[in-house]
Structure 1
């Protein structure tokens, strides 16, 4: 279905339909209510796992709200060799949201993205050592960003389960991993860490959200090197500037990147993908007690991990 063709009445019906549905579950992971997964996620998830990757494919893997749109646009500019905004959005190349046949006729290099857990990404891509970009963000800011996203995304909110509820309810829910989108943050990142340590996956470029925020030009340079693209210093600066949170958000909202489909389906008719784009906003949301609870969770979940996150800049 081409959502851009729906009129306002049809859009409202679609939003209400999505809000009323339960979240699909597969292999211990809860998913947003994407139409591709609603009638039973097994077939589509198996199709992702068995996807016929090409050597030139580049796969962007992130837990939700870790900077996916930011890195998607940055890499797209690097690949096209200029700082013009793309007229595409990452959802049109997101494996769990689309009919995978849509990717068949795409020219190389195909830049594809997904939030699915490591064990669910295309086996051929992993086994053959094709390029992967993995982006991480500190979990406290992820929780805040995910909450605000879920409140406005009809694919994430669920009336029947009163989810996401108020912030107090949501953070308790996340700590207990009740609504464990893509398996939950800690399971997701630990699985990636183990895959890297055991060499189950090899050709991976790791990006931290906070590093991209702190040193955007240096991170663009690292990405370009990984992608074997030679860019001038001026172009790397231009890409970093055009992909800054403020400018990318404005380009999306103003139509420079095409019609803003997110705003069309949002509960409050705004683009919930772009909210603040800062590091440390969690301090404005976590109470002292919630922060202590979450720190105890961090200690338990990461006690045998080498993962280190930056919580303030």
Structure 2
């Protein structure tokens, strides 16, 4: 790790170390960009910079998703695929979280990304399609993986995740997260939460925006529940899409390393700041936990809302 850091310009070494020490912002506020209300902790200014100025290299991989739909799991699977030599593997584990998320501060991180001695870079984002320069990414022959998950588990997972963060002490999040399940649910389906979407929009609108790019050969849709059902099969699909050659033994190794239990164990022993943040992100990774929270009426309401919104798509969910 030190050897690779020493390859960076001195000012970039300092920035890398500074980001590695940072936790989530302690006084987050929601801001707006092009009519989209951003999740607290994310920066409209950085998103705008990324759209206009972020360099895109052939082979880069962008993992895009709505929050709490399997982003970190997919990131780890792809990280295991791309970084198999010891030095790249070690560096990739030490990359600060904010360096790997497009819309997180600071803007200076993009210059650092350009200097990292990695042949292929992995970036994540929760941005809607209209705030990502998809044309520039795909014309550079970079890849976009869109991850989706059944909305009922997403709704529960977002509540559990957001309640652990500083956003719970800030409005409008504070009231919406602390008023009980029923009121929280109503805020979600009304599109009240600042989730990088326009007011009144939420998860189905995020899916619809990205679905417009479904036929782009450089865009791949990955389903959380399908990965849970048959991870080796989905790893092979991802490998084919990313032009990565994997033997059956390598698929088996990635499958084993990326079980939820092993990922949690590795995070617990890693010790990096990134791992501390990922530990907050990773809860249970289950399918069907929503049944402990939803009433029958709430479940049917989500079914209806998604059926109406996604009627012209082939997106189907496993609950």
What aligned pairs does 1:159-238 form with structure 2 within 5 A after superposition?
Answer: 159-161=170-172, 162-165=175-178, 166-183=180-197, 184-196=202-214, 199=215, 201-238=216-253
Distance in 2 between the 1:101 and 1:30 partners? 27
Q: Aligned-pair RMSD on alpha carbons? A: 2.5
CA change 1:259–1:44 in 2 (3 A) is closer
Which one of the candidate residues 139, 144, 147 is aligned to 2:151? Answer: 139
| 1:119 corresponds to 2:130 | yes
> How far is the alpha carbon of 1:130 from its aligned partner?
2.4
Give the corresponding residue for 2:5.
none
Q: Deviations over 1:60-83 (max 9, x none)?
A: 111111111111111011012379
Match of 1:295 in 2: 303
Higher share of residues assigned helix: 2
Name which of 47, 50, 60 aligns with 2:49: 47
- Give 1:254 shift: 2.4
Give the counterpart of 1:101 among 105, 108, 111.
111
1:81 paired with 2:84, answer yes
Secondary structure class of the residue paired with 1:60: strand
Alpha-carbon distance between aligned partners in 1 of 2:274 and 2:211, rounded to the nearest angstrom: 37
Aligned residue number for residue 57 of structure 1? 60
- SS of residue paired to 1:261: helix
- The separation in 2 between residues aligned to 1:160 and 1:136, in whole angstroms, is 28
**1:117 to 1:158, Cα distance in 2 relative to 1, 3 A:** farther
Instruction: Report the number of matched residues.
Output: 286
Q: TM-score, normalised by structure 1?
A: 0.82
User: TM-score w.r.t. structure 2 length?
Assistant: 0.81
Residue segments in structure 1 that go unaligned for 5+ positions in a row: 264-270
Aligned position for 1:246:
261
Deviation at 1:273, TM superposition (A): 0.8
Q: How far has the Cα of 1:4 moved from its partner?
A: 5.0
Unaligned runs of 5+ in 2: 1-14
User: CA 1:171–1:205 in structure 2 vs 1: closer, same or farther (change >3 Å)?
Assistant: same
Instruction: Determine the C-alpha separation between the residues in 2 that align with 1:101 and 1:28.
Output: 28
CA distance in 1, matches of 2:213, 2:181: 33
Distance 1:260 1:195 in 2: 32
2:240 and 2:20 mapped to 1: Cα distance? 36
Structure 2 distance, partners of 1:159, 1:45, is 22
Measured after TM superposition, the shift of residue 232 of structure 1 is 1.8
In 2, the alpha carbon distance for the partners of 1:55 and 1:309 equals 32
Question: Secondary structure at 1:163's aligned position in 2?
Answer: helix
Q: Deviations over 1:63-108 (max 9, x none)?
A: 1111111111110110123797734465431111143223121232
The CA deviation string for residues 3-40 of structure 1, in whole angstroms up to 9 with x for no partner, is: 6547xxxx79x53x23xx3x112223222222x62xxx
User: Counterpart in 2 of 1:148?
Assistant: 160
Q: Is the 8 A contact 1:25 1:31 kept in 2?
A: yes
